[in-house]
Amino acid sequence: MPLFRVTKPAPEPVQVDFVRVMVVGTLVWAVAALVAVVLGATGATGWLPTAVCATGAALGLVGINWAQRHRPRAEPVPTDAAPTA
C-alpha cells in the first residue's frame, strides 16, 4: 500500500514577476540596514547587524539584475496573420 496517493493533478504554476519580488526584498533589507545603522550609532547593538543588512541589500541588487535578465520575453505577434474583424 503506497504511503501517498495522488488523487488529483498538480495545479498549474503561478506566474510571478521576480523583478518585483527582488525589488521589494531589497527595499526591506535597505530599511533594515538604516535601522541597524541608527541602533549601531546609539550603541544599542554592534555593527554586525548593519553588515548583514548591507549584504542582504547588495545581494538583492544582484537578484534584481538576474531577474531582469531572465524575465520571460513576450511572444512575437505573427505578421502574416489575417486580421479578424
In 3D space, the residue among 72, 77, 69 whose CA is nearest the CA of residue 16 turns out to be 72
Q: What is the pLDDT of residues 58-69, one digit of tens each?
A: 999 999 999 999
Among 13-17, 34-38, 58-62, where is mean pLDDT lowest? Answer: 13-17
Cut 0.75: pTM above it: no
Distance CA 7, CA 35 (A): 49
